[in-house]
C-alpha cells in the first residue's frame, strides 16, 4: 500500500497509507481528495561506485567487514596507496 497526499477544502494536507487507487479519504467528518502533485518515493539498493578508486575502496570495506583480520588484497601496495591518496 502506498502513501498518498490528500488535500482538504482549506488546503491542509495529510499523508495516509491507503490501498492503490484510493482517490479520497474521510477523516473526522472532513473529505480529503488525493493531490495531483507527484508523490514522494525512495529508491532501495546501493549506490554503485563510479570510478576505479571508488570500486577498490568499496571492495576493501566489504572484504574487511566480511573477513576481518583474514583479509588479503589482490592489489599491489602501490595501487592501494595511489587510490587512498598516499
Domain assignment of residue 58, given as a range: 52-84
Residue 41 included in any domain: no
* Confidence check: pLDDT of 6 > 70: yes
Provide the pLDDT for residue 82. Answer: 81
Name the domain count of the chain.
Answer: 2
> CB of 3 within 8 A of CB of 39?
yes
Mean pLDDT of 48-59: 78
Reading the block at residue 69, the C-alpha cell is: 583480520
Query: Dihedral sign, CA of 47, 52, 54, 56?
Result: positive
Q: What is the pTM for the complete model shown?
A: 0.43
More confident residue, 18 or 60: 18
In the predicted model, what is the mean pLDDT of the chain? 81
Model confidence pLDDT, tens digit, residues 11-53: 898 888 888 888 999 988 899 999 876 666 666 666 776 788 8
> CB of 85 within 8 A of CB of 53?
no
Residue 77 included in any domain: yes
Amino acid at each position: 500500500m502506498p502513501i498518498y497526499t490528500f488535500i482538504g477544502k482549506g488546503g491542509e494536507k495529510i499523508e495516509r497509507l491507503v490501498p492503490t487507487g484510493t482517490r479520497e479519504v474521510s477523516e473526522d467528518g472532513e473529505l480529503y481528495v488525493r493531490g495531483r502533485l507527484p508523490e514522494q518515493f525512495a529508491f532501495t539498493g546501493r549506490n554503485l561506485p563510479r570510478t576505479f578508486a571508488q570500486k577498490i575502496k568499496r571492495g576493501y570495506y566489504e572484504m574487511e567487514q566480511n573477513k576481518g583480520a583474514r583479509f588479503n588484497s589482490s592489489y599491489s601496495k602501490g595501487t592501494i596507496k595511489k587510490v587512498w591518496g598516499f
